[in-house]
Amino acid sequence: MTNHWRDIKNADVIMINGANPAEAHPVGFQWFMKAKLDPTKGPGSGGGAKLIHADPRFSRTSAVSDMYLRIRTGTDVAYFGGLINYVIQNNKYHDEYVKNYTNASFIINKDYKFKDGLFSGYDAKKRTYAVETWAYDNEPGPDKYAKRDESLKDPHCVFQLIKNHYSRYTPEMVQTITGIPKEDFLKVAQIVGEMGRPDKVMTIVYAVGLTHHTTGSQLIRSAAVLQLLLGNIGRPGGGMNAERGHANIQGNTDNAISWEILPGYLKVPLPGQKTIEDYVKVSASKRLLGISWNFFGTNYKKFIVSLLKTWYGDSANKSNDFAFSYLPKPAGNSSWMTIYDQALQGKMEGVMLSGMTAASIGPDSNQVLTALSKLKWLAVMDPFPTTSSEFWHASGLNPADVQTEVFMLPTTHWIEKDGSFVNSGRWMQWKDQVIPPVGDSRHDHWIVAELFHRVKALYQKDGGKFPDPIVHLTMDYKDPLKPSLDEIAREVNGKDLKTGKRLATFAKLMDDGTTTSGNWIYVGSYPEKGNMAKRRKGVQDPAKNDPTGMGFYPEWAWTWPLNRRILYNRASADMSGKPWDPKRAGIAWNGSKWVGDVPDYPPKMNPKDPKAWLPFTMNGEGVARLFASSMLDGPIPEHYEPVESPVKNALHPDMSASPTAFLYDKAAKRENRFGTPDEYPIIATTYRLTEHEHYVTQQVPHLVQLQPEPFVEIPTALANERGVKTGDMVRVRSKRGKIEVRAVVTNRVGQLDLGGKKVYQVGIPIHWGYVGIAAEMHPEKSKFWMANNLTPFVGDANSRTPEFKAFLVQIEKLA
């Protein structure tokens, strides 16, 4: 989230796309309801914030929303694109913000083109883009600053390119693609259009309903472009707010659970980068304007050197370029699907799973199960048996044929250990151990620590090709086999090696090897004065603990970076430092310093100084990007169909699906596993229910009682065609597999009219498999309970996220 949960109470309009906060985040949802019940909020003259929910299913979020719009899954770029078009055509955008705080005025290379669904630079063979033509035009001179046209009239300026690009997204086109009738779409557009006023503000809340598509990154960017045009980024009550998974997905991502990043969103080095200099040159952003601070790019080296000092201690020094050679420079990626793709190709010997079950989380579980059966060994670290630790029981596998040796390492549950959770709003909150571990279970980090020491001992004894990265790794804990999470939190914060004192801000990090930090964005979370994540000054005394009244509660826990509650908050005030809406101030210039939230800006930089930095201090541009050349699948979000779709792309039928989606099976020369609309005419999407958390709650009796059996939500009209009633057993099958579950017949899912073509959508919750309390009650039935048996093995070009949320199926009633 650019903002945070509590901040949603400050919004006038809450747009919810690809998300179901009432069910997935019911506790966070209280802030949506606070906004809704607050008569001072809302469009027009108030009357409470309006919730607008566009979703394939009418969910428990829709049940309390002011407007629910039935949208075809995966078409949100068309929805947001239509809103962008409306806002531009009707001059509803926030002019001053767009001119000064976005790259609207930047001139793009004259060879940039978009034609017939393709951006310039496409290589059809590799299915990738060369991005040279997407670059900014430079001013002459040694600094190569970007050329701008502040009148926004140059045909090659970003504003004109965006305006032209989205002129195709008319209300009629929105209707044809999304299935939302034109007149309903215009009702939304009218409300959204008002949110470009400085005294109004809208938030957009999204979740994996936007990310789980081959166009996932662009779905999110299309919403962000709308928010920038409305001037809503950086403001309380605004922002782009991703609901992250429970309870620590945000913390995982910050600390490099993802394949393409090191801690603190530093890039993973590439092959050929021999020195830190090579690495920083490619990875760090360049200053593109004289008044752009380019904070991240400027300090990149400090962050990577401090990270290497943390990991390699005295073995990282100037003479060996701070052990940069120890870091892997992988040629390929190691995203989730790639791991199982490699296993399918027989290139993986073993896999260790921690905190998730590969067999269930898919996509294409049958293919993943085949991959697991090709491993020599599989180690599962989990408090409970999982569909992976028991994977040979899955349908389609003959246990006698599975040669994989499976190890179950019982771990502690989070309730059995202390440590921190980082919530969607980037709040790092410390928790205590509630109960002691059961039996012989151990903490995951203790298992990894011991494993590491055994591997290290082997390297020390036997040598090896390159033992240095292993034998020189620091493990400066009281008991290196059992590091405490408190010690690790202090290590992540980092310290000044000259004084031995922990640092309070990343501004003190150095690139000469005199500082450490395991993650630069967490510097200040555990300074000398203590663990900030333990702070609890909350609603006991709102007047004292929330002095601005905006819900920042600065002494409750700690937020990265630097306890800043709202990212980019310099953009909450105008050029002179006056808040766009004085009633909802993020930060304000009081004549000598910035007050309010922790400023995303030098605390004493006078905004009236002609040399004052631009507001988006992290970017090389100093402003936010409406046009982003860093995306692999295009600088402006464009609607592409899901890889499996019942219709051709109405904008460019010959370039229907994303031309850059990563087709794993095709790349590995495996048989085609995509279905056609003739065989599989129904659109399906998967989702989660409030009663379960992924798969682990299949072990919790009270929750199994609330949701005992899997089902598929089927539109009433479709059910009538097939003679299906609620409670009947039905088979849902895709090109890749099948499930056999109960039917829930309802108008909450329904038919879409896509320019004359009628299609049905169905919804399938994901939480079941062949392991757990319910599965034990129904051992035969539960063989066909895994929703991801149906989903396609294909990924977004940028993130390689699978398309869990849009695919094709057929449905039959079972006798």
CB-wise, 24 or 98, nearer to another protein? 24
Backbone angles phi, psi at 342, to 5 degrees: -65, -40
Per CB under 8 A, 70 contacts another protein: yes
Return the amino acid letter for 548.
Answer: T
* Residues 764/733, Cβ–Cβ less than 8 Å: no
Give 276's contacts (C-beta < 8 A, 6+ positions apart).
301, 304, 305, 321, 322, 324
Listed residue (393, 448, 441, 381) closest to 417, CA to CA: 441
CA 25 from chain centre, in angstroms, equals 16
**What ranges make up the beta strands (E) of 599-692?**
662-663, 682-687
Beta carbon of residue 213, minimum distance to another protein (angstroms, whole number): 21
Residues 727-766 that bind another protein (CB under 8 A): 727, 742, 744-748, 750-753
CB-wise, 270 or 777, nearer to another protein? 777
How far, in Å, CA of 103 to CA of 117, rounded?
A: 23
* Residues 546/537, Cβ–Cβ less than 8 Å: no
CB-wise, 172 or 753, nearer to another protein? 753
Beta carbon of residue 786, minimum distance to another protein (angstroms, whole number): 17
Cβ-based burial of 84 (10 A; exposed 0-12, middle 13-18, buried ≥19): buried
How far, in Å, CA of 592 to CA of 611, rounded?
A: 16
Among 56, 551, 715, 802, binds another protein (CB under 8 A): 715
Per CB under 8 A, 707 contacts another protein: yes
CB-wise, 415 or 717, nearer to another protein? 717
Size of the site for another protein (CB under 8 A): 62
| Secondary structure letter of residue 46 according to DSSP | -
Return the amino acid letter for 473.
Answer: L
Residues 147-166 that bind another protein (CB under 8 A): none
How far, in Å, CA of 723 to CA of 397, rounded?
A: 33
Among 439, 462, 702, 723, binds another protein (CB under 8 A): 702
Beta carbon of residue 610, minimum distance to another protein (angstroms, whole number): 49
Binding mask 18-57 for another protein (x = CB under 8 A): ----xx--xx-xx--x--xx-x-------x---x-x----
Stretch that binds another protein, among 129-137, 284-292, 393-401, 723-731 (CB under 8 A): 723-731
Stretch that binds another protein, among 227-235, 288-296, 386-394, 695-703 (CB under 8 A): 695-703
Listed residue (561, 485, 568) closest to 522, CA to CA: 561
Per CB under 8 A, 711 contacts another protein: yes
* Residues 290/143, Cβ–Cβ less than 8 Å: yes
Beta carbon of residue 198, minimum distance to another protein (angstroms, whole number): 27
Among 61, 310, 367, 517, binds another protein (CB under 8 A): 61
End-to-end CA distance of the chain: 47
* Residues 207/543, Cβ–Cβ less than 8 Å: no
Per CB under 8 A, 701 contacts another protein: yes
Per CB under 8 A, 777 contacts another protein: yes
**What ranges make up the beta strands (E) of 578-621?**
587-589, 594-596
Stretch that binds another protein, among 88-96, 198-206, 601-609, 725-733 (CB under 8 A): 725-733
Return the amino acid letter for 247.
Answer: A
The strand pair at 128-129 and 122-123 is best described as antiparallel
Angle at which helices 171-178 and 76-89 pack, to 10 degrees?
Answer: 170
Listed residue (232, 216, 240, 241) closest to 76, CA to CA: 216
Binding mask 638-677 for another protein (x = CB under 8 A): ----------------------------------------
Beta carbon of residue 667, minimum distance to another protein (angstroms, whole number): 38
Stretch that binds another protein, among 314-322, 415-423, 464-472, 699-707 (CB under 8 A): 699-707
CB-wise, 125 or 702, nearer to another protein? 702
Among 44, 46, 63, 172, binds another protein (CB under 8 A): 63
CB-wise, 409 or 752, nearer to another protein? 752
Cβ-based burial of 263 (10 A; exposed 0-12, middle 13-18, buried ≥19): buried
Where residue 117 falls (left for φ over 0; alpha for ψ -120 to 50; beta otherwise) is left
* Residues 43/73, Cβ–Cβ less than 8 Å: no
Per CB under 8 A, 180 contacts another protein: yes
Among 121, 181, 513, 681, binds another protein (CB under 8 A): 181
Question: Other C-beta atoms within 10 Å of 398: how many?
Answer: 8
Beta carbon of residue 743, minimum distance to another protein (angstroms, whole number): 9
Among 607, 709, 731, 813, binds another protein (CB under 8 A): 709
Per CB under 8 A, 716 contacts another protein: yes
* Residues 426/598, Cβ–Cβ less than 8 Å: no
Among 274, 706, 755, 814, binds another protein (CB under 8 A): 706
How far, in Å, CA of 381 to CA of 220, rounded?
A: 33
Residues 286-305 that bind another protein (CB under 8 A): none
Per CB under 8 A, 179 contacts another protein: yes
Beta carbon of residue 293, minimum distance to another protein (angstroms, whole number): 40
Beta carbon of residue 230, minimum distance to another protein (angstroms, whole number): 22
* Residues 193/86, Cβ–Cβ less than 8 Å: yes
CB-wise, 308 or 744, nearer to another protein? 744
Per CB under 8 A, 705 contacts another protein: yes
Listed residue (11, 28, 19) closest to 60, CA to CA: 19
Per CB under 8 A, 773 contacts another protein: yes
Per CB under 8 A, 69 contacts another protein: yes
Beta carbon of residue 36, minimum distance to another protein (angstroms, whole number): 8
Return the amino acid letter for 262.
Answer: L
CB-wise, 709 or 812, nearer to another protein? 709
Binding site for another protein (CB under 8 A): 22-23, 26-27, 29-30, 33, 36-37, 39, 47, 51, 53, 58, 60-70, 179-181, 184, 187, 690-691, 701-709, 711, 713, 715-717, 725-727, 742, 744-748, 750-753, 773-774, 777
